[in-house]
Every structure is written in C-alpha cells, then in structure tokens.
Amino acid sequence: MTVKVEVIEGGIPHNKIMAAGLIISLVCIYLTWLNVLTGTPWFAFFGGLGAVAAIAWGSHTIKTLCSYGIGTGVPSAGMIALGSGVVAMLLATRYGVATPIVAVVVAAIIGAILGYLSNNVLAMHIPVMIKSLTELAIVGALTLLGFTAMMTGNFTFSALATGQVMFLGFALPSYVSSYLGGALIATVFMLAAIAIQHPFNACLGPNWKQDRMLMLSYEVGFLSMLAAAIMSLALISIGAALLSIIVALIGWWYTYNQYLVLSKRDAAAWLDAKPFPEEAEGP
Amino acid sequence: MENIVFGIGITALAGALATVAGAAENTESDIGSQGDPNSQVQLAPQMGYLHRIFNKAVAGEPPAYGLWIALGAGIAWAFMAMQINAILAIVLGCALATFIQGVYATTAYLGRTASLAKFGQPVFVDILKSMTTVTMAHAFVAIFTTVTMCHLINAALGHPFPLPLLGLVWGIALGAAGSATGNPFYGKERQYQTQNFGAGVPISASGNIVRYAEAGQRNSLDNGWFTAKLAGPASGVCFGLIVFLELWRTVIFEPVGAGWGAIIVGIILILIFMVIDRYIEVWARKTYGPYTKPEEVSS
Amino acid sequence: MSAVGAKPGGSAGIDPVASVVAIVLMIVMLAIMYMIGTPMAFMALIGIVIGGVLIGFGVMFVPVGGAPAAMGQAPGIATGVAMLAAGAGLAGLFGGAWAAQTTSNLLVIVITGAVGGGLMMAITCLFVNFIYVYGMGIPAASGKVKKDPITGDTQTEYKSQGTEGHGLPFVSYVGGVIGGLFGGAGGTLIYIMLLDVYEESLPAMMQAQSGQLLPIPAAQIMPIAVTLAGMFAIGLFLVNAVLAAYNITGTIEGPHDPKFKRWPRAVIASATASALVGLVAIMIVAL
C-alpha cells in the first residue's frame, strides 16, 4: 500500500470510545426487549441506534489496528469482524433475554482466538492485534444484533425464523418469508461489513481527524439503519417500520450535514468549478 | 425437453444481463476511481501532483458491489414479500441501493481529500456534484441487471439460495471479475498514458498520473469514456461468460451422469480456456519480442 | 510520521510454540464437539475443518498483484487477495449449492463446487492476460523466477524496465485456477456439512425454541437451513480468506513465489479458525 498511515494524536482515548460504544449498544439493544414486555413493536428502532453505537466503536478499533500497518487493506478487517460476529450472534439468539450478553461473550472468545492465530501463528506481531480482533468480533455481533432486532422487533431465534404470509386475508406463519428464510441477514451482513470499515478507509490520510471520522461513522450507521428500516417494512408492522425510517432519516440528515461542515473545515481549499493550482507542481 | 429449452432461454438472458452488468460495473468503478488504481489518485497529491480526479475510496470493488447488489436484492425481496409486483420491487430496490452508493461515494471523496489537506489538494465541489451522478447512473445499470439476473436464477431456474444471498454471492463475483479485468487498463493505460506504451509503469514514475486532458484539466469523465471502449466490454464479456457457462453447464448437463456430466463439461471448459490463454501468452512473446537481449546482457 | 509498531511478519518461519498451541486448541474443539454433539455433528465439524484448510491453502495459489499490478508494475491480478478468492469461492459455492439440490452424492457436490470456482478463475485470468496483451501491448513476465516452472519460458527479458514483471505468466494462471478449485471445493464442503446438520437438528431445536406442540416438518425448515448454512459458509470463507491474506501480507505471484513456502502457517491457522467457527455454528442446534 502506498498510503501512509498515521498514529493517533490526542482526541478521545480508544478505551473510552470502546466503553461508551459497548454500553450504549447493549443498552439500546436491550431497550428493544420492551417490545416483548409491552407486546407492541414500537421500540424496534432502538436496535438501530445500538448498531450505530457499535459501528462508531468498530471504526475506531480499525483505526487503532491499522495504525500499525497490517500490510493488507482496511476492508479485510471489516470482513473478519462480521465473519466472526455472525456465528456468535446467531448462537446467542437461542438464549432469550440473555442474548446480547451471550453474543458479546462468545464473540470475544472467537475474536481472541482469531487474534492469537493472526498474531502468533501467522507472525504478524502487532501489539494490539488480539485486543483489536476481539473488539471487532464483538462489534460485528452487536451490529448484526442491533439491525436484526430493529428489523424483526426482537432478538430471539424464533423471531428471526418466523414471518407472516397473507393468504386469503389471513396472516399465516411462514418460514420462507422470515428474516432468516429470506436471507436478509446476508444484506445486513454486508451493510455492517462495509459500514464498519468505511469511516477509517474514507478518512485515511495525513490529516486524519478523530471527530470527522466519528461523525462519518454515525452518518454511515444511520444510512445503514435507513436501509435496514426499509427492509423491515416486510417483517414488522408498517407503523413501527415507519418510525424506524423517520428516526434513521433524521439521524442521517443531521450527521451528513455535520460531516460536510467538518470536511469543509479540514480541507485545504473548497473550490467550485476552478482548476487546480498550477504552481504546486512537484518534482 | 421444454424444460431444458426454457432453461436455456433463461440462461441466455442471464448471460446477457451479466454482460451488461460487467461493462457498467467497470465503467462505474473507473469514473469513480475505485479499487487498486485509486491508490495512485491518492498518492499523486503526496508527490506534488494535484488533480481533479474523483477519489472514491469505498473498500475495493468486490466488497462494495457485494453490498450494492445484496442491498438491491434485499430491498427487492422485502417489497416482493409485501406482494408488490416483482419488477417494480426490483426497480425500487435498485434505486435505493444506488442512492446509498452515491452517498458512500460522496463521503469517501470528501474524507480522503480533506485528509490530504497537508499537500494542498482542494475539494472540488463541482467534481463532487458532476461525477457522483454519473457513477450513480452506471451503478444503477450494474445493480439492476445483476439483481434481475439473480431473481431469474432463483425464480425461474430454481436455485435454493434466497434472493439476498444470491445477490451477495454474485455481487462479490461481479466485483472480482470486473476489477481483475478493468483495473490494469484504467491504471496503466489511462492514468499513466504518458508513459511508454507496451511497458509497465516504472516504479520511479509512481504518482505522476496524467492530470491534463485534450483541453484543460482532466476529470474522471475523461477516464470513463476511454475505459468504456475496451475495459468495459471486456469486463462485461468476462462476467457474462462466467455466469452463462456456469448456468449452461448445470442446466443442460446436470441430469447427465448423475451430476458428473456437468463436472466433466466444466473441466473441459477450464482446459479450453487454459489453451487459449497459453496461445495468447505465446503470441505476445513472439509478436512483441523481448525488451532486452535474453540473458546474455546483465539486466 | 509513518506507521508505528512492529512491522507485519515478513518472516517465513513457523513459530513452533504458537503452532502447537493452535493445534491443541483445534483438538480441544473437536473433543468438545465429540462429547456434546451427535456423531453426525462430529463428522460435520471434521468436514468443516477440511473445508477451511482447503480454502486457506487454495488462497495461497491465487496470483495477486494489488496496487502495483494495476499499473503494470507487478505480475498478478489487480485486486485484493481476500476478495478475489472470495469471488471465486462463492461462484463455486453457488454451483455446489445447486448440485446439492439434485443429488446427495457428497463427492459430486464438492467437485461441482470446485469446478465452478476453477472455471471462474480460468475465465478471469484469461481476460486479465487478454487486456494486458491486446489492450496494453504488454507480454506476461514474472519477477520472481528466471524461467517459468511449467513451460520453461524465460522471463527476465520480457520484464519492462523499472518494473517487477506484469501480467500472468502461465504458472500464475495455473495457480489461479488451482486456487479457484480449492476455494470452491472448500466453501461447498463447509456449506454441505452445515446443511446436513441443520436439516437434521433444526426442526427439533425450533420446536423447543418456539414452544409449539406439533413438530415442525423438515421441508418447511429448508429455507432457514439453506440461509444459515449459506451465510456461515460465506462468513467462514471470508475469515479464512482474510487470515490467508494476513499470511501473504499483500501480494503473491503464485505457487512459484518464495512467499508460497509460508503455506503451513496458513493451513494451521485455517484449521483452528474453521474448527472454532464451525463449532459455534453447529452448537446453534446441538446444545
């Protein structure tokens, strides 16, 4: 790679972001359990907010990991996060209300072992490798769990596997029209994989700024939440899905505008229909 | 018999759609400048060569296209599950996927360019506005044709994978095929047009991409119309062949020999392509000749 | 300031302690599966480990040139390692999953997947050479060997000045096809093993989860089983491909490249990683 990667200077320390991301994500995902307690689907959008928090945390983890020059591209970190997170998340959905905690624990174990394999067997010898891959696996599992909870209203396995099909005006339970039966998890998988690695990949460069990257991670999180909310129209009630769409739209619009403001602040120049300056030609 | 004829018809249609998808995918990634050639667009300002090329750093083409196609397929599936007409569902799904692709493109350009502020590379708002819409247009063609192809494979040919999973699989395959074929042509032939033809770019010239067009300064649309002439159709034929031959050998030869028929046909096809490749390689060595005298001169 | 910390492993050697730990971990996971699962689940986990090893080993064959290849500075395909291998392997998985619908002969299904992956790589590598030769006027040349091991063609004088080689010499082409064959076989093997386990155990597990009185017919569960098996096959494929990419650290010319000697590390890491992820995937129904 011919791109120079720089070390973090100043800003919020990574461990603070990790703690905040983990706690906010877990709290938001648990708030979707209110759906079960109240028997309504209105709290589904909290799952999306939990996923946004996890994405923000994950983007900062990738930044920490890639500062050490891993030799391959940034997108692979997103792929391995999701590849390890998806199994942990689906195993955890068996455990009812304990699902998010089980997902975090199982993902941590998988991530730690993968980190050990990368660092020691594959001789990458990067100081933060094991910790970063552990964090990435947890981020992958939580992001998937958040979007799944938003799209199905719940995070238990039976909610994922059963949907409805309209037959002569009656709603019959159906497996083929469910979240798993229709393989919507594949779309959410890719949404999360690209969303986690995009903020660092897009803000890569000598003038990397933490607040700009974090704002981009919120933007990309809300954009993914918007896509998932549109897909949830098929799985939960129209009202709850519209609520998710509106929350996602508002969140996305605000963060996108903020990102434009921050980019304008950081750019060398903000030109419209002008040529590039000629005198800056180099050797 | 009718079953096989119907299957062949769908296979041919899927192959044609895949060809269009491959061509559009390559043109889109060249106008946006995505993937490995984009490292030069990123490097140029650091070596002092400012430019007006779009810097779309959204992962590489395989994962990015895996996302757009899976997204188009997923939203289409959701609309189909709500009993919306299949074609309308696919169009709506692909339109939304294209919108998301456009947003990703803008944030990538702004992020990368703002992070190059140290070298004086400006953010060109007119480039942002004009290039993004063009890449979105090509992306829509690629996404729509691929999602339609996946829908045909699932609904008409009876593949067990649901639509979003097929979208993920073929999206990554589309990105891999288009990127492998189109990247060298864009990277060497167009970005480094001023270097010697018929030779690779020497390492000493890294970063010195062409920044001036026939008139004025070059932007990504100039790159796009060039690569759309050869790399685009080549990527299209590559992906079209992949899809068509994979479907064709399964639809016709799967019933033969309890599955072994398709395998044998596949192996024969691999050998045929190997022979063609060897022919091309030998032709190049004979026709172009070596750069230096073989082995007598120390190189 | 440039990247800090230790440089990634350019070392070709195997760390014996880490490798032994990894192998022990894999045996522990196999033992756990043996104790808590059905014999079929145990066989499935062994199949998944073999599939993962096929993927990890196969990725080492694929010629990847990365960013320099996009400028004609290095031989290989101008895409990232993990995703190019994923593209070929997933095309193979597509074919294998289709074959699984019509036959239950494991050998036929896996070889169909292999041929699917190999065919995709054969066509893609052909078009890479096509563009180099007819579009750019550049013959193929390797930078790592003086003579092509398969055809005996001399390479050095066909390398343009200032580059490390370009295009796909025949040994790289064959390497790419072999990589596609192994990747497609591995991905399909993982898919079919998981599919069998889910077909067998998912109805009972879902009945327990949802608290229904009537048993759920297996035919209705098929879409869920297919999705789960397909999703995990893809996820496991990506994990193995990324681990192999870490092993290669960026670019490799093919089986003749000195970096190819690192393959034992890839095999051990893939085996353990596949055992781990496979164990968790099977535990969804086996616990």
Determine the Cα–Cα distance for residues C269 and C193; give it in Å rounded to an integer.
Answer: 20
Can you give the residue ranges of every domain in chain C? 42-286
Could you give the CA distance from residue A30 to residue C204 in angstroms, rounded to a whole number? 28
Positive or negative: CA dihedral B102, B166, A87, C211? positive
**A207: enclosing H helix or E strand:** none
Instruction: Decide if C120 and B204 are in contact by the 8 Å CB cutoff.
Output: no
Find the radius of gyration of the CA atoms of chain B: 22
Residue B46 lies in a domain: yes
* pLDDT tens readout for residues A76-126: 888 998 999 999 999 999 888 899 999 999 999 999 999 999 988 888 888
The verdict on B107 and B153 lying in the same domain is yes
Which alpha helices (DSSP H) does chain B contain, by range? 2-32, 38-46, 61-81, 86-114, 125-155, 163-184, 220-227, 231-253, 260-288
Establish, for the pair of chains B and C, how many residue pairs have beta carbons separated by less than 8 Å: 297
Smallest CA–CA distance from C216 into chain A, residue: A175
How far is C-alpha B187 from the geometric centre of its chain's CA atoms? 14
Contact between C235 and C52 (Cβ < 8 Å): no
Domain extent for B276: 254-288
ipTM: 0.94
C-chain CB neighbours of A126 within 8 Å are 5-6, 8
Q: Which tokens go with A242? A: 């519209």
B37 contacts on C by Cβ (under 8 Å): 67, 70-71, 78
Q: Residue B49 and residue A281: Cβ atoms within 8 Å? A: yes
Q: Are residues B99 and B42 in the same domain?
A: yes
Neighbours of chain A (3+ CB pairs under 8 A): B, C
Q: Are residues B234 and B106 in the same domain?
A: yes
Domain count, chain B: 2
Of B202, B191, B230, residue with least CA distance to B53: B191
Chain B residue numbers touching A241 (CB-CB < 8 A): none
Domain assignment present for residue B204? The answer is no
Same-domain status, B57 and B144:
yes
Encoded tokens for C127: 């078009």
Q: What is the pLDDT of residues C158-188, one digit of tens each?
A: 998 889 999 999 999 999 999 999 999 999 9
Subunit contact A202:B111, Cβ cutoff 8 A: yes
Residue A156 token pair: 């238990």
pTM of the model: 0.94
| Residue B299 belongs to some domain of the structure | no
The verdict on B222 and B143 lying in the same domain is yes
| Spatial distance between the Cα atoms of A237 and B82, rounded to a whole number of angstroms | 11
Q: Are residues B130 and B46 in the same domain?
A: yes
On whether both B136 and B272 belong to a single domain, the answer is no
Q: Is residue B104 part of a domain?
A: yes
Q: Are residues B169 and B281 in the same domain?
A: no
Residues of chain A in contact with residue B54, where contact means CB-CB under 8 angstroms, are none
Q: Are strands A163-167 and A170-174 parallel, antiparallel or unpaired?
A: antiparallel
Residue numbers in C near A183 (CB within 8 A): 226-227, 230-231
CB B40 within 8 A of CB B187: yes
Q: With an 8 Å Cβ cutoff, are C91 and B169 in contact?
A: yes
pLDDT of residue C91: 94
Q: Do B122 and A2 touch (CB under 8 A)?
A: no
Question: Residue C154 in 3-state DSSP?
Answer: strand
**B172 lies in a domain?**
yes
Query: From the CA of A148, how many Å to the nearest CA of chain C?
Result: 14
The C-alpha angle C48, C54, C58, rounded to 5 degrees, equals: 150
How distant, in Å, are the alpha carbons of B19, C31, C36, C276, C281 from that of C28?
A: 48, 5, 12, 10, 16
The answer to whether residue A279 scores a pLDDT higher than 70 is no
Residues C22, A87: C-beta atoms closer than 8 Å: no
Picking from A2, A162, A181, the nearest residue to C227 by CB comes out as A181
> Do B166 and B268 have their domain in common?
no
Q: Which residues pair with B219 in a beta bridge?
A: B52
CA distance B155 to chain A (A): 13
In 3D space, the residue among A247, A29, A57, A266 whose CA is nearest the CA of residue A154 turns out to be A29
What 8-state DSSP symbol labels residue C137?
-
Contacts of B182 in chain C (CB under 8 A): 131
Q: B209 lies in a domain?
A: no
- Kindly report, residue by residue over B90-140, the tens digit of the pLDDT: 999 999 999 999 999 999 999 999 999 999 999 999 999 999 999 999 999
DSSP letter (8 states) at residue B122: P
| pLDDT score recorded for residue A176 | 80
Average pLDDT over residues A213-236: 95
B297 has a pLDDT exceeding 70: no
- B118·A256 Cβ contact <8 A: no
Same domain, B68 and B178: yes
DSSP summary character for residue A170 = E
In the block, residue with structure tokens 């590598």 = C125
The C-alpha angle B285, B290, B296, rounded to 5 degrees, equals 130
pLDDT confidence band for A10 (50 / 70 / 90)? low
Sign of the CA dihedral with B163 first, then B165, B169, and B175 last: positive
Amino acid at B267: I
Q: In chain C, count H helices and then E strands.
A: 8, 0
Q: Nearest-CA distance from B286 to chain C in Å?
A: 10
Dump pLDDT digits (tens) for A193-206.
999 999 999 998 89
Q: How far is CA A87 from CA A104, A133, B105, in A?
A: 12, 15, 30
Q: Is residue B235 part of a domain?
A: yes
Q: What is the pLDDT of residues B142-152, one digit of tens each?
A: 999 999 999 99
Q: What is the pLDDT of residues A144-159, one digit of tens each?
A: 999 999 999 888 888 8
Please provide the size of chain A in residues: 283
- Is pLDDT of C205 > 70? yes
Q: How far apart are CA B109 and CA B127, in angstroms?
A: 10
8 Å CB contact between B128 and B110: yes
Of A68, A91, A124, the CB nearest to C280: A91
Contact B200 C160 (CB under 8 A): yes
B176 in the same domain as B39:
yes
Instruction: Inspect the interface and report whether the beta carbons of A76 and C245 lie closer than 8 Å.
Output: yes
Tell me how far CA of residue B140 lies from CA of A230, B105, C100, in angstroms. Answer: 18, 14, 33
Q: How far apart are CA A263 and CA B111, in angstroms?
A: 7
State the angle between helix axes of C81-102 and B163-184 in degrees (0 to 180), rounded to the nearest 10.
140
With contact defined as 3+ CB pairs under 8 Å, the chains touching B are A, C
Nearest CA in chain B to C171: B278
Report the pLDDT value the prediction gives residue C12, as an integer from 0 to 100: 54
pLDDT grade for C36, boundaries at 50, 70 and 90:
confident
Candidates B50, B52, B68, B159, partner chain A, best to mutate (most A CBs within 10 A): B50
Establish if C27 touches chain B: CB-CB under 8 angstroms.
no
Q: Are residues B34 and B171 in the same domain?
A: yes
In a domain, B156, yes or no: yes
Mean confidence (pLDDT) of chain B: 92
